[in-house]
Amino acid sequence: MRVTLHLARLLLAMFALTITPVLAQQPDLNEQELRQLMQMAEYIGVDYSEAVEKGEIINADEYAEMEEFAQLLVDRGEKLSAAPDAETIRQEAAALQAAIQRKASLAEVQVHTANLRQGLLSIAPALSLPQQLLSVEESRALYQSQCIACHGTGGMGDGPLAAQLEPAPTNFHERERAENRSLLGLYDAISNGIDGTAMTAFSNLNEQQRWSLAFYVGGLAFSGEQADTSSSELTLADLVMYSPQVLGNDRPEVPAEIVAALRADPTPLFAKRDGEGSKPLDTARSQLQKSLTAFQRGDYASARTLAISAYLDGFELVEGTLDSHDTALRKSIERDLLGLRAKLNTKSDPQEVEQQVALILQRLDEAQAQLEQSNLSGTALFLASLIILLREGLEALLVVIALTTILIKTERGDALKYVHFGWIAAFIAGFATWLAAQRLITISGASREVMEGVAALVAAAVLFYVGYWMHSKTHAQGWQKYIRNSIDRSLTTGTLWGIAALAFLAVYREIFETILFYQALLTQTSAGQYSALWGGVGAAVVLLAFLGWAMVRYYAHLPIGKFFSVTTFILLALSFVLAGKAIAALQEAALISMTPLPVSFSFDWLGIYSTWEGICLQAAILVAAAWIWLRGRRPVTTGETVKA
């Protein structure tokens, strides 16, 4: 299966044009390095008062550490040339360094550290929040076994080793320090240690234990605080990522006593989070309102991130269900949510942004009202369930059937196990990923779209290549001779594992997406309607099985030349569809730009959407496919056939 050098260059150029914008927006530092920078910034804000007071150095060692960390922030900030808002981050790092050098006030330093940390948070990968903590008793026992040598039995920083340590261990009961320390900062300190101090990384603890320790020591200074948190809009992510002081400045609508009470006992947020998955529209509203708040305070990066989350973590999960009620409303909300991102910048009129957010919230209320008027009827639920599986399964089925019949036609039935290995592994991996997302880690909507987009893009490229190879054999006069002379050489072990990988990619993305759609559909299913839902699943499975059987049977009776012609068309068509869906997914995740066409349209089954990026890539695939077809019409000599 060798492709010509000319076509290889063409494919490389096509997909490089698409992937380059994605790569160009990625931070130049990895996740761990970004988290370390956040930790340094927070550490400076917390400990600066131990180094400088009233413009004078009161602890030379602490001050030297402040200077060292500030210089590291400046130096590493220079590596963020390709990251969004990199210039803002560099400016804050430079301003922080200048403030430390002139021994500025604590308040000024903390403004710069807070801004710097928020900028770094905006470009860092989505945070995996804890799903569940150890009990208070278990967390206390863990603290006693790991931390008392330095921090003392009660967390006062008076352990047996404390007197010989510089800087001294943290007193977790010190309220001012706790007000400036985030739970994420504590978690990172426990996970990675703190350079220049006696705090080492606790790599012997698992993720749940490290989070439990962070919540435990982070709540000691707030012990006994109580407040009614039932009506609070604060989320677990807010409590984890931001210190109480930052929340007080950026979220003045949230009373300080509520933040303190949740630091003392975060249980209500975990309970609320368990229920959020069943209310996607509530998530969309919450993230949208937070996005507007971030925009109003000038934090445009966070505003865009939250707007993206409003769509991917909220509204997208009910799109299929809303379609059965009001397709026009679904398209309108989707268009407005995606369009809002472009307005969250310094050039936009704040009043216009507020009006658009208000309009989206109003339409979300309309959607909620339609969804809550009544559950889907049994017939509608059956059809929705059937269509979800049929739509998502057909693409994967076409790829698997095409690969299977290629091997059968090329008399390599012994290699079918590679295809079966690929799709079976995809089923296992798809369900394992879903279970991990439910129980172990949080997979954000953006991460999900990136995963699906990249998988679709790779699959599109491979399918195009295989389609070209198939076409090169369509008019082969010496096909049987090619089989005898070349098939064993062409289908090497590496190629066969490549076929397995293609089957895996094609099925994995569909499996995971299907599970997410069914999860959203279950929220609209009453207790007596599960038979309709599972009936739709069963009907879709029967239809897919019949389609698969019919395609295999039809293919088996095709002459070899016609077989390769039909298969070439299917593979190139799938490449076209997957390329469009890949671009759409990466655009939804905001990894590549989204430039709308003058008219709005979408054809989900064909992967055609009204953006220049997707249309241009698909047009390039059509041009390349036309070139392949025209090239294949010229007479082919026997010598060329055997050589192919």
Q: For residue range 45-67, list pLDDT tens digits in order.
A: 888 888 899 899 998 888 988 89
Q: What is the pLDDT of residue 450?
A: 59
Lowest-confidence region among 216-220, 333-337, 423-427, 488-492: 488-492
From 249, 271, 293, give the residue that closes a domain: 271
Determine the pLDDT at residue 95: 92
309 and 413 in a common domain? no
Q: Please indicate, yes or no, whether residues 548 and 420 belong to a single structural domain of this protein.
A: yes
Cβ atoms of 364 and 329 within 8 Å: the answer is no
Average pLDDT over residues 597-604: 76
* 387 and 366 share one domain: no
Instruction: Identify whether 10 is part of a domain.
Output: no
Q: What are the tokens at 605?
A: 């089954």
- pLDDT exceeds 50 at position 482: no
* 3-state helix, strand and coil shares in percent for the chain, rounded to the nearest 5: 75, 0, 25
Kindly report, residue by residue over 367-410, the tens digit of the pLDDT: 877 776 545 566 767 877 777 777 777 767 777 777 777 777 66
In a shared domain, residues 356 and 402: no
Strands 608-609 and 602-603: antiparallel
The yes-or-no verdict on residue 19 having pLDDT over 90 is no
More confident site: 585 or 7: 585
Identify whether the C-beta of residue 82 lies closer than 8 Å to the C-beta of residue 26: yes
Question: 397 and 540 share a domain?
Answer: yes
Task: Give the separation between CA 316 and CA 517, rounded to whole angstroms.
Answer: 9
Q: Which pLDDT score is estimated for 13?
A: 43
If you search the block for the tokens 């394992």, which residue do you land on? Answer: 432
Residue 315's pLDDT is what?
81
Residue 131 resides in a domain:
no
At 375 the pLDDT is 53
**Whether residue 169 sits in one domain with residue 119:** no
DSSP 26-40: S-SS-HHHHHHHHHH
Q: Are 178 and 257 members of one domain?
A: yes
What is the number of domains present in the chain?
A: 4
Considering the domain boundaries, does residue 249 fall inside one? yes
- The pTM (predicted TM-score) of the whole model is 0.47
The pLDDT value recorded for residue 593 is 74
Q: Which amino acid is at 169?
A: P
pLDDT, residue 582, reads: 75
Q: For residue 309, what pLDDT is reported?
A: 79
Residue 519 and residue 588 in one domain? yes
Model confidence at 453: pLDDT above 70: no
The region, left, alpha or beta by phi > 0 then psi within -120 to 50, assigned to residue 27 is beta
Assess whether 155 and 264 both reside in one domain.
yes
- pLDDT tier for residue 5 given thresholds of 50, 70 and 90: very low
What pLDDT, in 10s, does the model give residues 507-559? Answer: 776 777 677 667 666 656 666 677 887 888 888 888 888 887 877 777 656 66
CA dist 111 and 63 (Å) reads: 18
Residue 1 maps to a domain = no
Same domain as 382, residue 369: no
Domain finish residue from 92, 123, 154: 123
143 and 220 housed in the same domain:
yes
Give the residue with greater pLDDT, 324 vs 80. Answer: 80
Q: Is residue 4 part of a domain?
A: no
Compute the average pLDDT of residues 420-432. Answer: 82
Q: How many CB atoms lie within 10 A of CB 575?
A: 26
The answer to the question of residue 128 being in a domain is: no
145 and 234 assigned to the same domain: yes
Look at residue 184 and tell me if it is in a domain.
Answer: yes
Residue 24 domain-assigned?
no
Please tell me which residue, 111 or 12, carries the higher pLDDT value. Answer: 111
Alpha-carbon dihedral of residues 188, 306, 361, 613, nearest 10 degrees? -150
| 96: pLDDT strictly greater than 90 | yes
Please report, for residues 404, 420, 499, the alpha-carbon distance to residue 555 in angstroms, rounded to integers and kept in the order given. Answer: 10, 19, 19
Task: Quote the domain boundaries for residue 230.
Answer: 136-271
Mean pLDDT, rounded, for 302-326: 77
